[in-house]
Amino acid sequence: MLARCLSVLLVLTLVVPGAAWAGERGYFGFGFKIDGEGLMSNPTLRSATIEKVAPHSPAALAGMQVGDAVIEVAGQAIAGAKGKDIQAHIEKDIGETVQIKLRQRNGDMVVIKMVAAAKTW
């Protein structure tokens, strides 16, 4: 019986290599630089700026660009927030959504929504 279960699992793994397992952490494909004060493990934030956007990622597809200022994440303002609180809003399982308010380099304010994707590498 155990061998049969393992065989089915192996077939599913080979046949559906891109399948997302429940609870698997997703990715949005961006990185940001923070300006904050206090403990590095959980600083009080002053600002956050997009530093990297991966090509073809959920962030790139939503229109996020290097140099954009992050104003809010999931309705919580960046200025004055604790780093771990913002991190909790950004860490999502595959298929979950996050909303981010940005001030683009040209001064326009935009709100983007991204769905966490499976890592393909």
SS3 90: helix
pTM attached to this predicted model: 0.77
Which residues fall within 8 angstroms of residue 115, CB to CB, at 6 or more apart? 26, 58, 95, 96, 97
Write down all domains in the chain, each with its CATH number in brackets: 24-115 (2.30.42.10)
Q: What does the pLDDT look like over 30-69, one tens digit per residue?
A: 999 999 998 888 899 999 999 999 999 999 999 999 999 9
Q: Rounded CA gap, 98 and 90, in Å?
A: 7
